[in-house]
Every structure is written in C-alpha cells, then in structure tokens.
Amino acid sequence: MLSQYLYISTAPSLSREEVEKILETSTRNNPAHGITGLLLYNGRNFLQLLEGEENELVGLMMRIGSDKRHTGVSLLSSTQIDARSCPDWAMKRMFIAESVQSRRDTLDDELPQALDPEIRKMIVNFAVLN
Ligand SMILES: Cc1cc2nc3c(=O)[nH]c(=O)nc-3n(C[C@H](O)[C@H](O)[C@H](O)COP(=O)(O)O)c2cc1C
C-alpha cells in the first residue's frame, strides 16, 4: 500500500555542502527502497515529502527522526495514495526563489501536477515564509 508523508523539521545553520550531502545520500538510498519525494530547505527548516510503501516510509522516518543534523521532526500529513505525485524523483531538491514575490509562482510551476491541492498549499505556504 502506497503512502505519502509530509513533515517539517528544524536545522538552523546547515551549510550548502551539508544539505547537498543529505541529498546525495537520499538519491543513493531511495531507489532501492522505492522511495520518491522532494526536499525544501529555507536556511532554518526542512520540509520533505516522502512517498512509498508504508513499511519503507516507517523505516526511513525512524532514521530521519534520529538524524542529529536536524531536530523537531513534525509530521504534517500522512495519507494513503493511489499513485505517486513524484514518480521520477528519488529526492528532488526544490529551490526557494530569492524574491518572496516570485516564490509562489516558481513553486507552482515546479511542483508536480498530481499533488493533492491541500499538500500543495502546505508546501507553497512553507516556501513563502521568511
Ligand atoms: C532533512 C533530512 C532528510 C533526509 N532524507 C533522506 C532520504 O530521503 N533518504 C535517505 O536515505 N536518507 C535521508 N536522510 C538521511 C538519513 O537520516 C540517514 O542519515 C541516512 O538514511 C543514512 O544512510 P547511510 O546509512 O547510507 O549513510 C535525511 C536526513 C535529513 C536530515
């Protein structure tokens, strides 16, 4: 059964290299576990969308939850899904535009069309926070 999780966490001062390392690990590990998703980092907080088989997601969330590079992992949503929203992304880094005005438009273009509208709204709201 396919599920989709959305969570936020706090990591006040990670360097670009540290975030790149997390993405490298994710793109290396996730295909073997059938996990897909996207990751946003705004310099203080992560937001990550994860999708895959429920048992795989539970396993990954345990690892992510005990990862010392961030704290306060907080699940915003967990739902069963019929099909993946991001089937082609082992872990997509979504960049947040510099200009607050253009963030909403840029993300709206880049986020997958198949995303549930409520999930999309949560991701866009996260991205426009300063
Ligand atoms: C915000 C954040 C997101 C992460 N996302 C993933 C992920 O999607 N897949 C993954 O395998 N590890 C992810 N990790 C890393 C895991 O916590 C853990 O370090 C890693 O799975 C260990 O893999 P390794 O044994 O191959 O080094 C993430 C870590 C953080 C801080």
Residue 98 confidence (pLDDT): 85
29 lines ligand 1 (CB under 6 A): yes
pLDDT digits (tens, 9 = 90+) for 101-112: 889 888 888 999
Q: How far is the CA of 96 from the centre of ligand 1 (A)?
A: 21
pLDDT digits (tens, 9 = 90+) for 7-56: 999 999 899 999 999 999 999 999 999 999 999 999 999 999 999 999 99
Measured from the Cα of 91, ligand 1's closest atom is 8
Q: Which of these, 55, 53, 43, 40, lies nearest to 6 by C-alpha position?
A: 40
Residue 36 confidence (pLDDT): 98
pLDDT digits (tens, 9 = 90+) for 72-100: 999 999 999 999 999 999 999 998 888 88
The number of beta carbons lying within 10 Å of the beta carbon of residue 92 is 19
Residue 97 confidence (pLDDT): 85
This prediction's pTM: 0.96
19 lines ligand 1 (CB under 6 A): no
Alpha-carbon distances of 89 from 11, 14, 15, 59, 100, rounded to whole Å: 23, 23, 23, 19, 25
The structural architecture, per CATH, of the domain 2-128 is 2-Layer Sandwich (3.30)
Question: What residue type is 10 in one-letter code?
Answer: T
